Homo-oligomer: A and B are copies of this chain.
Amino acid sequence: MIIDCHGHYTTSPKALADYRDAQVAALKEKKPVVPAKLSVSDDQIRESVEGAQLKLQRDRGTDLTIFSPRAAGMGHHIGDAKTSEYWSTACNDMVHRVVQAFPKNFIGVCQLPQSPGVDPRNCIPELERCVNELGFIGCNLNPDPSGGYWKEPSLADKWWYPLYEKMCELDVPAMVHVSSSCNPAVHHTGAHYIAGDTIAFMQFITADLFKDFPTLKFIIPHGGGAVPYHWGRYRGLAQDLKKPLLKDHLLKNVYFDTCVYHQPGIDLLTKVIPIENILFASEMVGAVRGIDPETGFNYDDTKRYIDKAAIPAADKAKIFEGNAYNVFPRLKAQFAKQTKKN
């Protein structure tokens, strides 16, 4: 089975966007925001992924997508904690509908109702609901709910510890994923995403978070931002900071996905980062939707790059499937449960 650990519901029904628009309008008019009551049919859910994610799974030969709400849509900088609570609930419920419709093809990861400056404890109820009630196996954690201004404490700060305790208790990892940027200097998918990945990794280097949480797991998406390309820099910075070797300092807890959209990038990733720390991912249908004129295939058809990488078949199997079971401890049982029902 080929597991794509990084997919967002970028093609969700219009009713979801309409609800968000109404929320934003209410905020503008200083009216109260209200919980979503979306009227979306099962057909609409099926149609929303049939010609997109499902078709691409078939075309590209992948099987299961670990699926979460649209990252750019999380918009934690908009409104307050209540706004984010209602919005996250609506988005997670929609992902759950997709999983229910296609339980062999999707498994859920949730958006958290983060809000700038708000204690991350506020995320715990929604995380518990999604894991315990909806069968989700992880969450997306935004290291910068201010949307491009980096006003939150470092991910290694005790500020986040209550959430980490709950993640460990539930045995779910977090993908460290920023949302859209409200900073006009910082483009979202071309700058904020990649910068965010890089900044988060350095937050982990400078601290000793994983001494406190030996089982806590993070995936850094987009191939780890700049990190593998600058692996020598990060090894050297950790050394100057008198930290252990990176493999001991954080590679039992930090993983990278393969959302790197050309062969030389994937070749570097698989050369530099231990195979055990790499998870297959494409982020389809996502940030880059075109066809690469140099290959004739979609930039984000990352399976092709792994297929062509000069690594043994056993390593490819780890990237495509095996490592995911390690990073998402609930994956195997949840998938069995989902697919048994049908």
Residues of A within 8 A of B (CB): 143-144, 148-154, 183-187, 189-192, 194-195, 198-199, 202-203, 205-206, 222-223, 225-226, 228-237, 239-240, 260-265, 267-268, 271-272, 287-290, 292, 294, 299-300
Contact = CB atoms under 8 A, between A and B. Distances in A.
Nearest to A294: B235
Contacts of A232: 260-263, 265, 288, 292, 299
Contact of A190 (B195, B206, B288, B290): B206
Contacts of A235: 262, 292, 294, 299
Nearest to A154: B185
Contact of A230 (B194, B233, B239, B292): B194
28 contacts: A150-B183, A150-B185, A152-B185, A153-B184, A154-B184, A154-B185, A185-B199, A190-B237, A191-B203, A194-B198, A195-B199, A223-B230, A229-B229, A229-B260, A230-B261, A230-B262, A232-B260, A232-B261, A233-B261, A235-B299, A236-B261, A236-B288, A236-B292, A236-B300, A240-B290, A262-B272, A265-B268, A267-B268
A155 to B, nearest CB: 8
Contacts of A231: 262, 264-265
A56 to B, nearest CB: 16
Contacts of A202: 186-187, 190-191
Contacts of A144: 185
Nearest to A239: B290
Contact of A237 (B150, B184, B288): B288
A191 B185 contact: no
A265 B227 CA distance: 10
A159 to B, nearest CB: 11
Contact of A198 (B198, B223, B236): B198
Contacts of A194: 195, 198, 226, 230, 233
Contact of A272 (B151, B189, B264): B264
A114 to B, nearest CB: 14
A174 B149 CA distance: 25
B229 A203 contact: no
A189 B299 contact: no
A323 to B, nearest CB: 21
Given A185-B203, A226-B229, 12 more contacts: A153-B185, A154-B185, A187-B202, A187-B206, A190-B233, A194-B233, A229-B229, A229-B265, A233-B287, A235-B294, A236-B261, A265-B268
